[in-house]
Structure 1
């Protein structure tokens, strides 16, 4: 039981030291990355919407 608390404490200590090494993005970088992700989502949604309409029209034509 005592060992598990020691290993748990060690885990959190090591995790905290690793988080200190992380280079966090600036506000401007975060904004740009977020816009890129949102733009990609919109483009993919439009692509699948058009694809869905096309496949639906094809099925309607066949049936």
Structure 2
């Protein structure tokens, strides 16, 4: 039981050392991540549709 208590004590100690982002930074990072995800989803959708259309065209020859 003392190992578990020691472990959680060390976890709390390390969590106090963490440099947490400020609200402004967190908002900026969140917007960057979400916009990147949306951009990549749209990009790969367009690529997938293009490749699918190319295969349909090739197979119809």
TM over 0.5, shorter chain: yes
User: How far apart in 2 are the matches of 1:17 and 1:40?
Assistant: 34
Which 5+ residue runs of structure 2 have no aligned equivalent? none
Matched, 1:11 2:10: no
User: Matches of 1:44 and 1:13 in 2, distance apart?
Assistant: 41
RMSD across aligned positions (CA) = 0.5
Q: Which residue of 2 aligns with 1:23?
A: 19
Aligned residue-pair number: 59
2:50 maps to 1:54: yes
TM-score (norm 1): 0.90
Q: List runs of 5+ in structure 1 lacking aligned partners.
A: none
